[in-house]
Structures are given as structure tokens and as C-alpha cells.
Structure 1
């Protein structure tokens, strides 16, 4: 329960101002000398402590429209018509010729003048009556609007409401707007604090001068309410996906892996051919892959490597290997060409390497597919590396990511044999979902490049891990830049 000594000076000022009468934020700012932002902040604090209550109400107010303002300045169409009749314009043609009333106004002007009994027709000609000088109800209503009266619908008489309905039929003569009003009043707990508001006041700031002089020992300080709500602060921060990437890199390094990187633009040789992907495979078509239009590049590989790759393809797939197809330039469809080229260059006896980078697939964007995403990939090589070692590495990696339930299913990938698909259990969805693919590089991949030992490899889309971590059902939300979501993701997740 709140007490006077724990109140902030802003709260005290607002409570004192409300002691006699209910008020609104603007009036409180004027009576207390506080800024409107300080008043709004104090209102939120007091509302949270149940010391004030806020009642909302709405008021319908009538304002002049553009045509209504013009009518006040120049007269209603029926008034201008009567004035023209008084000047001797007795027929519709004469009135239109004079320009007093516009063509689109003449029918409404005649109807209004007859309704007000301002004119009469005698042998087809208009004549002004004795009532022509009398002001109409519409004219009075518009004049009152200009003077600031009769503007609130709830306070109008029945006759005024009928006039309003008539004016609403005329486009842009009047506008009705809803204004919301908040009335702030003391609760029973707030009113009980009023007599004690001046008690317990003291210094609220501890300065360096107080400390060095020792004056703080004799100074009486105000109590601080440490349970009072603090305003939300949204400091600059990295995108949550970048946090995931950094976490993945840290895990790999902790498992003894070294990071490698390479260009996003690759030759077809390293992206497909070196991985024993047939040159007529559907994955190499424009429908699945982004090619750099009209570009070819000299294959960054030795003549011996190209010769061995050609031999493996012709033996394995039974068709002649075309170097022109291998020279085509693509946006990499995975990070494996970077990994494989690194292994072919250094030919390690024992090694662990990983990469995290952007890859590109010519796919239809959906809740689970993007044309550009991040792939995380790890490889390990040793003389006696086995599938059991690969599964152990995978389980250790997932455990450090906070994923405990993991199992593996046999599957097929073009350049690994045997191949497995890792499955992890999604607690929120209560089902198993696919995550990474894994396997041992085929001899057709490693032997032509002079890599002698088995190479364990696994990889997949990093965004899938992010979706699991953040509880998302649509991968596009990671890139939607929706501030509400970005601010809601905690920096450290347990």
C-alpha cells in the first residue's frame, strides 16, 4: 500500500490539485505548473497505485464545413435567390444569367426559399413575400456555429437536432467529430492520503558535494518507491538473428572448429560439379538457381582437378562432361563449395571447420522458404571418422543450442553416403521437425580433389533454428522489421 513518504513530487502535486475537483490532464498541467509529459507520467504512476481513477467519455461536436463557411460569408443559396428576386430577377433564367445562384444550386435554392415562405410564384414569375426578411433556422444555426455556440450535439434541443439533420443532407456544410475526454478523480485510497502529503518530504538527490562534505549524514532523504513502474527503454541493439549467428559461431569454436569464409558468387564447377551433381540435374536449372546473366569465369581449380572431376562425372553419369557448363557463374546455393575448396587446398589429415553465410535459392517465398537465407555448415575429417562421430557432434551442437530431443532418420543427399536427416522435437508444436542434413562425403567428391580421409558434413538453414528459438511459425517474420517483435525478444534467453 502506498504512503505519502514514498510518493514522487509529481504525484504529490497531482493529488493536491485533485483534492477539490476532478480534472483532465491539460487542466492539471496548468494548475500544477508541470509539463504535460510530467502530468501524463504522474497519472500513470498514480493509476498503477490505485490512487486515482480515470473515466473516459466521448462528445460529438459540430463544426462548420467548407460549404457552411462559404454560406456564412455569401449567404445560403435560397438567401441569394431571394436577394436576386428583390432586385427584379423574376425567372430562373434571369437568376442564372445574373450569376447569383449556380446552376447546380438553383433547385435546392427554390425549394429552400419556398419552404421558408420567402417567395411565391405568380403567373410563372417569382415574387418575394413579407417573410423574406426573416432569418431561417438554418441561417441561425450556422451563425451560432461560427460564434462557437450550439456545437455539442448532446446539449442541442430537439429543434436544433432537426436543423442539423437538414444541414447534414447538404454536402460539406457541417462536420461532426468525436472528441474523447478523460476525467481524473481521486479514489478512496488517494483521498485518504491528502492530509499526509506534506509529511516525510526530504532531499531526493544524493550529490557528490553531500558525500565529500559529509552533509549527507545530517540530510533527511525522501523514501523511494522501488516498486513503482519504470518507463520502458528501448536502446539500440543487434537484430535477434545476428545474436543467433554469433551464438552458433561461439558453439563451433568451443567444439574445436575453425571458421572459413568465401565468395557468394561461385563457378558451377565448385557449386555443382565438384559435389558430383550431374550437369543435367534439375537443381542446376534457372528455376532453382540464380545465374549471373551472360557471365562465365575461368574455373579457379587446377587442370588436374578439372580432369579428375570430368573423369568421375563421365564414369558415374555416363555422359560427357561439359566445361562450359562448369564455367557458368551462380549465386551459391549452399556454403559447401567454400568448404570443399578449402579442404582441396590444404588437404588436412585432421581438421574441423565451419562456415555461416548467405545462400540463394530461386524458390517461391512462403512461410518456410526464402530466396536468400543463412546456411550453417560444419565438416570434420580424421583417418577413422565415422557416422557415429557425426551423430555425436550433432547432438553436442544441438545440446549447446538448448535442444535436447534429437533423433536421426536415413535419407538421401547427392554428395553424401550414408546420409541422415536430423529431427528435433518442437515442444510448442508437440511434434518432430526436420532441421539439418548430414552425411559423409562420397568418394566421388573427395578422391578427385586429393582428400584421403573421410569427411563428416552437416548443415542447414540457420533461420530454422531461429524460428524454433523465437517460437515463430513464419520465417518472413525474421525480416519483417516489426518493432513490436524486435523489442520483445530478450537479449538472453533461458
Structure 2
């Protein structure tokens, strides 16, 4: 109907000057007319030009006044000729009507408000406000003075109206011809493509939006918006921050190639174990073997495998050094844990909490829940007096922070842990319990040959990064995490990112307790979003017991992102004084490794909060990209 109306009108007239008025005259919805004009314009049957007008519409309050009258008139009508008490008048009207109406009626000199009595000063009034609002509803024009008056009372608001003026196009016809959009196989077979008229390409039309430019959910960096005090964290970074909140420190995992000794033998895993078979492990051809192993430790491991020790009978087989020397792609990051525990045993014992997140490799068949290459998350706690109850409690704490509260534990067997447990979480997409990790307590046959004290226990757990990502994003096929499909998944699942309070993220004692201890002043370090051009310091001055707010320092053209703090750097690359703002990730590490000091500016006397790194200080690689690390080393 709308198409016939537009084309039929243009057949007898030169143009449609205003699509809005045309729709009103024909009794057709304007949106329908607009859609037809756009379609006809694409086929060049008409030429359309935009028309933009500012028009006034009533607010919700204005709608009420247009329907029931203005508050001042409602109040005036409620006052009888003989007058009324204030209490009675308030009972007759709503509180908002009484408040606004009394103000406007007194301003218009319609009523007289005494201490207890309200009386009329005039006997008749016209509701001009309601009349103006009705005129605007009907699309009539009113004076600019009246517009300003209604705007001040927030009864109207401006709205941009868009329409079209339409003329005949170069291919105008009273009726649209049917055109083909695609050349099909049937057209070629029948030969009717010679008579068909094909639709022209519209090179001005917008194509389908590309889904490129997204970061992978496993590697996505976090975004900090300190203005609203919330952090949007993707899975990998979220897990890192959870470990940091729980007081863990990261293990170096930069060696994908590992020896069989650290990957298997040091973990009390027998050499005839099926996992060491080529069907489950990728062995290296070149270099095929390792040359550097701690010989005294190798002998102790060999002895406990062959004949036992430390209360164990061992496996009772002939342990072969050539098997332990084989190089492979590590099958789990527990190989890194064995190295770290051995290094810990070489000095006086101190309790430790370690974690790692990195790639591991398994020679497995690929299906919807398994990949040959994936990321493993590992955490371990080394201390005295640890039990299986501690492990279960830590796992509940860890996974609940990830948003996975439905957990089950099942007894399992691992060569290097006893007791051992498999960890299951309920997957809403698959509607079943999915194994997400393994856990247990490291065996004495593994720990004591390293040199750790007999009363020290280690609880540990490991899981793939992909499994919790699938659960959090509602993905039922692990292969969808890789390739083009994961881009669509990320766009659809962006709303699922957890929001973690910055106070939770930063104010955890495990993050900066060492910095507070060094300062010796009992000061609370709090991040604030504020910056000045050439000053920095505390937003609260006074006694040292008051909280100190870490600010942002800007030197000339040096760009510093809000949320950073001031860190003392050596060298002359930056402004004289060598103060530069660094990112919050770097800052957290600096607060743990550096020395927090509170000083006064030599010229202004204002207090400054900064971190002076130790001798030979470097930003830890987990908190800095390679470029950032080089920049920090240059500054140092």
C-alpha cells in the first residue's frame, strides 16, 4: 500500500516535499513510508534527500499536566472561594502537586498563603501551561518564550525528527519491476538469464560488520576503569589475580621442552608408566636428550624408584638413566613445580605458595573436550601441618572466586600424590558434571629425596584453562575456542565477564603487606583516580596515621594513565627527579619487592608517596610485556 501511494503520487506530481506530512495525509505510518522510500531509492526509482527537524515532545511530567492540568491550576481549583486551611489543602492534593502548585500559584499571584489559611486572590484563571502542552502534542508552533518557560520546568524536551523529500529517479516507473538478485544454476540451465533484469550492486550500502579485532578469551588482558571502581577481567587474567589475592607467587614456565627426569622421574612416576609411552607424549628428535641434571638428586630418585626409602618399598624395577635423559614437550606444568620445590629444599625452609599458567602438550585424540595442546593452571602450597581438608578448603575458595560454586571431589590415583582427588564442576551447557582438574598431596617419595624436611607437606592442584573458560562462557565444544568461531562467541559472551571490586583487588593484605611492613608507619595504600599536571602526592595531608592516596604524576608531554602511582626510577630518561608513573600490575609487584617511602618535596614541602626499587630491580615478566620490561630496564 505504501509503495503504491509513493509511486502513484509521483506519477501525478513532481515531488513529495515532506514524507512526514505525506504519511499523515495518506493515513500511513511514517516508519513504513520511510522503509519504502529507502527501498525505492536503492533501485533508483526515486531520489531521496534527508530532512532533519528539531521538534519538541512532552516529558512524562508534561504528559500528566496535559491530561490533568498544571499543578498550579489543580491547587487553585482545590481552594474554595471562602478559603481553606493548609492542612486540609495538603490532604486534598498529592505532595508533589501541592509543592509545585503552591509555588507557581503564589508566583502568579493567584492565591494568598497565610500562616494557617489559604485564600484566593482572583476568582478565575486560565490553564495556559496545559494549553501550550496540548498545542505541542498536536504539532503546532508556539513562541520561543513559551518554549523556554516549559523547558525550565522540564515539561518538554527536544527530539530530532528525520524524514525525506522525494523526487522521481532515473529509473522511475509507476510500478516496480521484479528483478533478480542472484544468477542461479537454474537460470543458466533454462537460459532465461538473457531476459532477466538483475539488481545493481549498491556500493554505498554497509556490509556485514567484521568480527575481527577481538582478543582471544584465554589471553585477553584486563581492562581497568577506576572511575566506577570495577574491573572487567577475562579468564586468564582473572585467574592470575585470584592467585595474587590468595597470596601466591608465579613460577617461571618459559621452557616448553623438558627432560623426562623432571617431567616424570622426579615426580615418582615409574618409567614403565603408560603416560610415558609415545602415544601420550611428544618426544623430541633433536636434541633428543638432556645433558644437565643434579647428579646427587638423580641418585636419590633412582634409589627410591628401585628399592624405596622414606617408608616406601619403591617400584622394584631397574631404573634407566637414558630413559630419564629423553627430551619431550612437557605434559604438565608439575615439572616446573618439581624444579621449584627442589630449589626451595636447597636452603632454609620457608612456607611458599606457587602458581603457574602456561601451555602443555599431550599426544591425544582431539574431541569436544580434549586438545593436543592446551593451557594448564597449577597451584601448590608448601607448609607444615597441611591436610586434605586444607586442600578441599583452598579449592572451594579458588573456584568460588571464579564463579564455579558447584564442585564435587572424587578419589583418584596419581603416581606422585596420595591421597588424590579429581575435581568436577557442573556445566550448565552440557547439563552434566565435567572434570575440570586433579589434586592431591605430594608423596613423601617425591618430596624427601629433594631435601625437604620430613614434617613439610605440599598440597597441589592442576586444571586446564580451557575447561573453566568453557563453563564460564557456556561453550560445549573446546574446539570452538580456536579459529573464527571464538570471535562470535566472545561478542555474545562479553556480558559474562565478572566484575571485581578494586578494593578487593588491591587492598588484599597478601598483595602489599610487605610494603606496609617496610614503611613502618602503618599507612593504608589506596588507589584513587586523580591527576594534576605537574604535581603528585597525597590528597589527604596531615598526620601520618591518615590514609595516603597514591596519585598520578604527569611531566610535560609524558602520558600517564589514571590509576598509576609514582615510582622512583634511576637514570635521566625522564623528567629531572626521575619520577614516572607505571601501571598497576607493575606497581603491585613493586610494592612487594620494592621499598615504600614517604618523603616531602624539597621545594613545596608536599608529601610524596613513591617506591624506590632495590639494587638491580627488574619488573617481573608476568607483569610486563617484553617492550615494557625493556623500557623499565632502560629507565633503571
Give the TM-score taking structure 1 as reference length. Answer: 0.57
Among candidates 320, 328, 331, match of residue 329 of structure 2: 331
Shift of the 408–181 alpha-carbon distance from structure 1 to 2, 3 Å rule, reads: same
**Corresponding residue for 1:32?**
48
The answer as to 2:479 corresponding to 1:476 is yes
- Give 1:295 shift: 2.6
1:244-297 deviations in Å (ceiling 9; x for gaps): 111111101100100112211000100011111111111111111001115334
- Give 1:414 shift: 1.3
- Give 1:472 shift: 1.0
**Corresponding residue for 1:488?**
492
- Give 1:404 shift: 1.3
How do 1:288-367 residues align onto structure 2 when only pairs under 5 Å count?
288-315=280-307, 316-347=314-345, 348-367=349-368
Give distance in 1, aligned partners of 2:336 and 2:214.
31
**Corresponding residue for 2:432?**
431
SS for the counterpart of 2:47 is helix
**Corresponding residue for 2:266?**
274
Give distance in 1, aligned partners of 2:320 and 2:197.
74
Conserved 8 A contact 2:290-2:326: no
Conserved 8 A contact 2:43-2:199: no
Give distance in 1, aligned partners of 2:389 and 2:426.
21
**What is the count of residue pairs matched by the alignment?**
314
Shift of the 60–394 alpha-carbon distance from structure 1 to 2, 3 Å rule, reads: closer
1:279-321 deviations in Å (ceiling 9; x for gaps): 1111111111001115334354311100001101112121221
Shift of the 237–447 alpha-carbon distance from structure 1 to 2, 3 Å rule, reads: same
Conserved 8 A contact 2:355-2:378: yes
Give distance in 2, aligned partners of 1:434 and 1:369.
11
Conserved 8 A contact 1:17-1:32: no
The answer as to 2:229 corresponding to 1:238 is no
**Corresponding residue for 2:452?**
451
Shift of the 174–306 alpha-carbon distance from structure 1 to 2, 3 Å rule, reads: same
The answer as to 2:268 corresponding to 1:264 is no
Give the number of the structure whose alpha-carbon radius of gyration is greater.
1
Conserved 8 A contact 2:384-2:457: yes
SS for the counterpart of 1:358 is strand
**Corresponding residue for 1:283?**
275
SS for the counterpart of 1:409 is strand
Give distance in 2, aligned partners of 1:303 and 1:325.
15
- Give 1:485 shift: 2.2
Give distance in 1, aligned partners of 2:316 and 2:258.
25
Conserved 8 A contact 2:357-2:375: yes
Give distance in 2, aligned partners of 1:420 and 1:61.
61
Give distance in 2, aligned partners of 1:294 and 1:234.
40
Conserved 8 A contact 2:179-2:198: yes
Give distance in 1, aligned partners of 2:466 and 2:248.
21
Among candidates 12, 19, 29, match of residue 15 of structure 1: 19
Shift of the 180–305 alpha-carbon distance from structure 1 to 2, 3 Å rule, reads: same
Give distance in 2, aligned partners of 1:463 and 1:33.
53
**Corresponding residue for 1:400?**
401
Conserved 8 A contact 1:267-1:299: no
Give distance in 1, aligned partners of 2:429 and 2:21.
51
**Corresponding residue for 1:466?**
469
- RMSD across aligned positions (CA): 3.6
Shift of the 399–60 alpha-carbon distance from structure 1 to 2, 3 Å rule, reads: closer
Give ranges in structure 1 of 5+ residues lacking alignment. Answer: 1-11, 35-44, 47-54, 66-164, 183-230
Conserved 8 A contact 1:17-1:28: no
- Give 1:26 shift: 2.7
Conserved 8 A contact 1:297-1:328: yes
- Give 1:349 shift: 2.9
Conserved 8 A contact 1:252-1:354: yes
Conserved 8 A contact 2:473-2:496: no
Give distance in 2, aligned partners of 1:13 and 1:343.
83
**Corresponding residue for 1:253?**
244
**Corresponding residue for 2:5?**
none
Give distance in 2, aligned partners of 1:451 and 1:56.
87
- Give 1:481 shift: 2.3
